[in-house]
C-alpha cells in the first residue's frame, strides 16, 4: 500500500471545489426539471434540490459543508440587494407619496396581524413581536430573480420591487428594535439596548454611502465602459459584504443603501446600468440550494397548523391593504391582488434571524422557532411559484419566456 | 361594395398625430406601459385623443381638428402634460424621436388588440420592426379631387418634411448614417410607396375598387403610402415625418404643411407631373440619408438643388399664406433649422458626443420631451 500513496483516499471527495461544482450541477438539474418539465420557476427547483441534499433530506450536505458555501451565498445576496437598491427611484417615491405610504401600511398591517395571531395562541408578546417582525419581510432575492427570469415589465413588477425594499428595511428596523428589547428583558445594560440598533443602522448606512461615493467617483474616472464598470461594481459589492461581516453590520441595509445611493446620488450619470448576467447566475444557484438546505423540515409536524395560520394571516394582511389602497396607487383591483400574491415569498434570511435569536436567547422558545421556520419552509416552496404566477397573470412576463 | 365617399372638410384645417416612446427610468430602454398609462390618462379630462399603438411601449396622441398654429401648440402641450402627469405616477418616461436608439425589435410585445394581433400574424417580424415613431399631419380639403391634386403636388415637397423632422439617426444600437432611419422600415411593407398617378377622385376610386376586388386591401388603412387621401376625415395625410423631439417642432411642421397646402391650392402654381414620381424614391432616399445636407433632383426644372436652398426658397414663396394663417413664427423656426440650426438628428448625434452612451441619449431625449431638464 505504501507504494500507492499518490492515490487519493477512497472516501468521497470533499472540499469547497468539488462541493461548489456538485451543488451547481444538482441545482442546474433541479432548476431544469422544474422550469422545462413542470413549468415552475427554476428557483423552486434549486430550493427543492437543497432540501433533498440538505440535513433535512439525504444529509449529503452537512452543516459544516453549508458553512463553506456561506461566502457564495453572501455575495449572491449582495448582488441581489444592490441590484434591487439600484431600481429604487427616490424621485418616484417623492412624486407618488402613496407608494411609500402603501409600503409602510402593508408592513405595519402584516406585523400586527402576525403579532395578534401569535398572542392569541399564547406566545409571549416580546417573542411574538420578534416573529412578527421577521414575517413582515418578503424576499428580495426571489422577487428580483423571478422578475428577471420572466423579463417582467409593468406596474405590478415595479411596485412589488419597491414594496419588498420597503418591507425589508422596516422588518430589519423592527427586528433590531425588539432584539434590543430582549436584551433589556434579560437585563442587559441600557447602553446596549440603545446603542446596538443605532450602531447597526448608522454603520450600515455609512458603509453604503461610502461604497456609493466610491462607485460614482470610480465610474467618473473609468468612463462609460461597461466591462470596467462591471468589475468596479462587483468589487465594491464584495467589499461591502466583507465590511458588514467584519463590523457586524446589516448586509441588507448596507447593500440596499449602496444601490439606492449609487443610483440616486449619481447626478452626472457616470454609472452605467451594468447587468450582472450569467456570471451572477452561478451565485444565485448556490444561494437557493443553500436556502433549501437550511430549511428545518423536521420541525414541521409540531408546528404545521400554526405555521399555516402564520402564512395565511401574513398573506391576508398584505392583500387587504393593497386592495384597499389600490385606487390611490392608480392600480386596478386585479393588479393590486396580484401585487399581494407577488409579495408572498418570505426571505431565507429569516432562518438566520430565527436561529441567531434562538441561540442567544434560548427562552425565545423552540416552539416559536418551529412556527417561524415552518412558515418559512412553506413560503420558500410556494413563494417563487406565487410570484411567478402573479407576474404572468398581470400580463407582465415576456411572451417569449412562456 | 360601397365606393369610398370623400367627406368634405374645412379647407386648410389640420390635425396632428404623434407616436411616442415609453421608456423605463433605469436604462431608458423601451418598456411595456401603454395599457397602464392609457388607463390613468383617461381618468382625467384632457385635450385630444390618446390611443394604443402596435407594441406595448408606444402610444399615439392626436389633436382635434385645428385651424391655427397657436391652437395646435396649446392643444399639443395640454396632451403632452396629461401624458407626462400619468407617466410620472407610473415612473415611466416619455420621449419623442423617430426611433428608439438601442431597443431590440425582437423584444417588443404586441399590444393585445385584434387588429394588432392580425398585423403581427400577417407581417411577422416586420410588425415588431415597425416599432418606430412617426408624426402624421392631416390637411383638410374640400373634395376628393382636391385631395388627389394636393397629394400629387405635396409629393414634390416630401424630402422637406423628411429632412426637417428627421430624428432617427440611431437604430438597434448603431449610428445608421441616415438622418431618418425610420422610413427604411416602412419600405419593407408591400403596400408602402406612393399613390398611383390618378387624375381625379373618380379615377382613384376605380383603382381602389380594383385593389379591393383583388382582396389586397379592405380600407384605406391598408395603404402605407407616404401621403394618402383619408376620405373619412376629408383630408390628405402626410406620413413621412419622424416624431420630433418636442411638441413645438411638431406644431411647426404642421404649420409648414398647412402654409404649403394653402399656396398649392390657392395659387395652383404647377400641375401634377409624372416626373415627380420618377425622381421620388431617389430624392426620398437622399433626404433620409443626408437630411438637410442633401442635394435633390427637381423634377420640374430637371436640375440639382440643395435641399436647404429649396426649403428656404419655398418658405419665402409661401410666407404670404403663412401670414394669412397666422403661423409666421412657426415658419421662422423652420427657417432657422434649415439655415443652419440643424434638425433633431443633429441634436441627437450631439447628445451622444456629450454623454457617451445611447442610454444617455434616450435619457436626454426623454428629458427634452418632458421638460424635466437634464
DSSP A37: I
Report d(CA A3, CA A28) in Å as an integer. Answer: 40
DSSP A156: H
Structure confidence by residue, pLDDT tens digits, A137-181: 999 999 999 999 999 999 999 999 999 999 999 998 888 888 777
Instruction: Report residue A397 as a C-alpha cell.
Output: 412576463
Q: Is A104 on the interface with B (CB under 8 A)?
A: no
Position A9 scores a pLDDT of 58
Torsion, Cα of A83, A85, A91, A94 (10° steps): 150
Nearest to A155 among B25, B90, B357 (CB): B90
Instruction: Report residue B335 as a C-alpha cell.
Output: 427657417
Q: How far out from the chain centre does Cα B76 lie? A: 15
DSSP B93: E
Q: How far out from the chain centre does Cα A179 lie? A: 19
Give the architecture-level CATH label for domain A40-396.
Answer: Up-down Bundle (1.20)
Q: Is A137 on the interface with B (CB under 8 A)?
A: no
Residue B139 dihedral angles phi and psi, to the nearest 5°: -120, 125
Report d(CA A71, CA A66) in Å as an integer. Answer: 10
Residue A389 has a CB neighbour count (10 Å cut-off) of: 19
C-alpha distances in angstroms, A376 versus A51, A163, A353, A383, B338? Answer: 13, 19, 11, 9, 67
Interface test with A, best of B38, B90, B358 (most A CBs within 10 A): B90
Residue in chain B nearest A162 by alpha carbon: B91
Q: Are strands B49-52 and B58-62 parallel, antiparallel or unpaired?
A: antiparallel
Instruction: Report residue B11 as a C-alpha cell.
Output: 379647407
Instruction: Report residue A287 as a C-alpha cell.
Output: 444561494
Per DSSP, the three-state class of B176 is coil
Of chain A, the percentage scoring pLDDT greater than 70 comes to 93
What domains sit in chain B, N to C, each tagged with a CATH number? 14-361 (3.30.590.20)
Give me the helix-helix angle, A63-86 and A226-246, nearest 10°: 120
Position A126 scores a pLDDT of 80
Nearest to A330 among B33, B40, B359 (CB): B40
Position B280 scores a pLDDT of 96
A151 to B107: CB separation less than 8 angstroms, yes or no? yes
A1: CB partners within 8 A, 6+ apart: none
Report d(CA B223, CA B195) in Å as an integer. Answer: 9
Q: CB–CB of B18/B135 below 8 Å?
A: yes
Per DSSP, the three-state class of B180 is strand
Residue A101 has a CB neighbour count (10 Å cut-off) of: 14
Residue B133 dihedral angles phi and psi, to the nearest 5°: -130, 115
**Which residue in this structure is represented by grid cell 402576525?**
A114
Q: CB–CB of A278/A348 below 8 Å?
A: no
Residue in chain B nearest A96 by alpha carbon: B89
Q: CB–CB of A97/A328 below 8 Å?
A: no
C-alpha distances in angstroms, B165 versus A287, B89, B196, B347? Answer: 52, 30, 25, 12
Sequence-ordered alpha helix ranges (H) in A121-154: 125-136, 140-149
Report d(CA B152, CA B70) in Å as an integer. Answer: 28
Q: Which residue has the higher pLDDT, B32 or A11?
A: B32
Q: Is B359 on the interface with A (CB under 8 A)?
A: yes
What ipTM does the predicted assembly reach? Answer: 0.88
Radius of gyration of chain B (CA): 20
B356 to A223: CB separation less than 8 angstroms, yes or no? yes
Residues of chain A with Cβ-Cβ distance to B88 below 8 Å are 95-96
Q: Is A151 on the interface with B (CB under 8 A)?
A: yes
B91 to A269: CB separation less than 8 angstroms, yes or no? no
Give me the helix-helix angle, A226-246 and A190-222, nearest 10°: 160
pLDDT in tens, chain A (402 residues): 456 666 665 555 556 677 778 888 999 999 999 988 888 899 999 999 999 998 888 888 887 888 888 888 899 999 999 999 999 999 999 988 999 999 999 999 999 999 999 999 888 888 888 889 999 999 999 999 999 999 999 999 999 999 999 999 999 888 888 877 777 766 666 777 778 778 888 999 999 999 999 999 999 999 999 999 999 999 999 999 999 999 989 899 999 999 999 999 999 999 998 888 778 888 899 899 998 888 888 877 878 888 899 999 999 999 999 999 999 988 999 999 999 999 999 887 777 777 777 777 776 667 778 888 889 889 988 999 999 999 999 999 988 776
Domain boundaries, chain A: 40-396
| Residues, chain B | 374
Q: Is B188 on the interface with A (CB under 8 A)?
A: no
Instruction: Report residue B343 as a C-alpha cell.
Output: 434638425
A372: CB partners within 8 A, 6+ apart: A131, A134, A135, A307, A310, A350, A354
Instruction: Report residue A321 as a C-alpha cell.
Output: 391593504
| Residues, chain A | 402
Residue A186 has a CB neighbour count (10 Å cut-off) of: 11
Report d(CA B20, CA B58) in Å as an integer. Answer: 6
Amino acid at each position: 500500500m505504501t507504494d500507492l500513496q499518490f492515490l487519493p483516499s477512497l472516501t468521497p471527495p470533499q472540499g469547497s471545489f468539488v462541493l461548489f461544482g456538485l451543488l451547481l450541477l444538482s441545482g442546474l438539474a433541479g432548476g431544469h426539471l422544474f422550469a422545462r418539465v413542470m413549468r415552475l420557476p427554476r428557483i423552486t427547483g434549486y430550493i427543492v434540490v437543497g432540501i433533498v441534499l440538505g440535513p433535512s433530506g439525504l444529509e449529503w450536505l452537512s452543516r459544516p459543508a453549508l458553512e463553506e458555501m456561506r461566502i457564495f451565498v453572501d455575495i449572491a445576496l449582495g448582488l441581489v440587494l444592490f441590484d434591487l437598491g439600484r431600481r429604487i427611484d427616490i424621485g418616484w417615491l417623492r412624486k407618488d407619496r402613496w407608494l411609500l405610504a402603501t409600503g409602510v401600511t402593508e408592513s405595519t398591517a402584516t406585523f400586527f396581524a402576525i403579532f395578534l395571531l401569535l398572542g392569541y395562541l399564547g406566545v409571549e408578546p416580546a417573542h411574538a413581536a420578534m416573529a412578527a417582525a421577521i414575517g413582515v419581510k418578503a424576499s428580495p432575492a426571489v422577487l428580483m430573480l423571478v422578475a428577471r427570469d420572466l423579463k417582467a415589465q409593468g406596474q405590478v413588477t415595479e411596485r412589488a420591487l419597491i414594496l419588498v425594499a420597503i418591507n425589508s428595511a422596516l422588518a430589519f428596523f423592527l427586528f433590531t428594535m425588539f432584539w434590543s428589547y430582549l436584551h433589556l428583558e434579560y437585563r442587559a445594560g441600557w447602553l446596549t439596548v440603545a446603542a446596538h440598533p443605532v450602531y447597526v443602522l448608522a454603520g450600515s448606512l455609512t458603509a453604503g454611502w461610502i461604497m456609493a461615493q466610491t462607485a460614482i467617483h470610480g465610474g467618473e474616472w473609468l468612463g462609460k465602459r461597461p466591462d470596467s464598470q462591471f468589475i468596479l461594481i462587483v468589487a465594491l459589492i464584495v467589499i461591502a459584504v466583507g465590511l458588514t461581516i467584519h463590523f457586524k453590520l446589516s448586509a441588507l441595509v448596507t447593500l440596499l443603501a449602496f444601490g439606492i445611493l449609487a443610483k440616486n446620488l449619481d447626478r452626472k450619470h457616470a454609472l452605467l446600468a451594468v447587468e450582472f448576467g450569467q456570471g451572477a447566475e452561478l451565485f444565485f444557484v448556490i444561494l437557493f440550494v443553500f436556502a433549501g438546505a437550511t430549511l428545518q423540515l423536521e420541525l414541521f409536524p409540531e408546528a404545521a397548523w400554526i405555521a399555516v395560520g402564520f402564512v395565511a394571516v401574513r398573506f391576508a394582511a398584505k392583500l387587504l391593504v393593497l386592495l384597499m389602497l389600490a385606487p390611490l396607487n392608480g392600480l386596478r383591483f386585479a393588479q393590486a391582488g396580484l401585487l399581494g400574491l407577488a409579495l408572498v415569498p418570505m426571505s431565507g434570511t429569516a432562518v438566520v434571524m430565527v436561529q441567531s435569536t434562538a441561540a442567544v436567547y434560548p427562552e425565545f422558545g423552540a416552539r416559536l422557532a418551529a412556527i417561524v421556520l415552518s412558515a418559512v419552509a412553506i413560503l420558500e416552496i410556494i413563494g417563487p411559484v406565487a410570484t411567478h404566477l402573479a407576474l404572468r397573470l398581470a400580463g407582465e412576463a415576456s411572451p417569449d419566456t412562456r | 361594395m360601397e365606393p369610398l365617399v370623400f367627406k368634405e372638410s374645412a379647407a386648410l384645417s389640420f390635425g396632428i398625430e404623434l407616436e411616442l416612446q415609453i421608456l423605463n427610468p433605469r436604462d431608458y430602454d423601451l418598456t411595456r406601459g401603454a395599457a397602464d398609462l392609457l388607463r390613468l390618462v383617461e381618468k382625467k379630462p384632457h385635450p385630444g385623443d390618446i390611443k394604443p399603438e402596435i407594441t406595448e411601449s408606444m402610444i399615439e396622441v392626436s389633436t382635434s381638428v385645428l385651424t391655427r398654429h397657436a391652437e395646435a401648440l396649446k392643444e399639443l402641450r395640454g396632451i403632452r402634460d396629461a401624458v407626462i402627469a400619468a407617466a410620472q405616477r407610473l415612473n415611466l418616461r416619455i420621449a419623442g424621436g423617430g426611433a428608439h436608439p438601442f431597443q431590440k425589435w425582437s423584444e417588443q410585445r404586441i399590444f393585445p388588440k385584434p387588429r394588432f394581433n392580425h398585423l403581427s400574424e400577417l407581417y411577422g417580424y416586420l410588425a415588431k420592426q415597425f416599432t418606430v415613431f412617426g408624426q402624421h399631419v392631416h390637411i383638410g380639403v374640400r373634395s376628393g379631387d382636391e385631395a388627389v391634386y394636393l397629394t400629387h403636388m405635396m409629393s414634390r415637397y416630401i424630402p422637406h418634411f423628411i429632412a426637417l423632422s428627421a430624428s432617427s439617426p440611431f437604430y438597434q444600437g448603431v449610428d445608421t448614417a441616415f438622418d431618418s432611419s425610420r422610413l427604411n422600415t416602412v419600405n419593407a411593407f408591400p403596400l408602402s410607396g406612393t399613390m398611383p398617378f390618378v387624375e381625379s377622385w373618380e379615377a382613384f376610386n376605380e383603382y381602389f375598387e380594383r385593389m379591393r376586388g383583388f382582396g389586397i386591401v379592405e380600407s384605406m388603412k391598408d395603404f402605407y403610402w407616404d401621403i394618402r387621401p383619408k376620405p373619412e376625415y376629408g383630408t390628405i395625410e402626410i406620413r413621412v415625418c419622424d416624431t420630433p423631439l418636442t411638441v413645438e417642432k411638431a406644431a411647426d411642421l404642421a404649420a409648414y404643411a398647412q402654409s404649403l397646402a394653402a399656396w398649392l391650392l390657392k395659387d395652383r402654381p404647377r400641375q401634377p407631373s409624372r416626373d415627380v414620381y420618377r425622381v421620388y424614391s431617389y430624392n426620398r432616399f437622399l433626404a433620409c440619408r443626408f437630411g438637410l445636407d442633401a442635394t435633390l433632383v427637381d423634377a420640374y426644372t430637371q436640375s440639382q438643388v440643395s435641399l436647404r436652398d429649396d426649403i428656404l426658397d419655398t418658405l419665402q414663396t409661401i410666407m404670404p399664406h403663412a401670414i394669412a394663417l397666422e403661423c409666421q413664427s412657426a415658419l421662422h423656426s423652420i427657417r432657422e433649422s434649415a439655415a443652419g440650426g440643424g434638425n433633431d438628428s443633429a441634436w441627437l448625434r450631439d447628445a451622444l458626443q456629450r454623454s457617451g452612451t445611447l442610454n444617455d441619449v434616450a435619457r436626454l431625449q426623454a428629458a427634452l420631451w418632458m421638460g424635466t431638464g437634464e
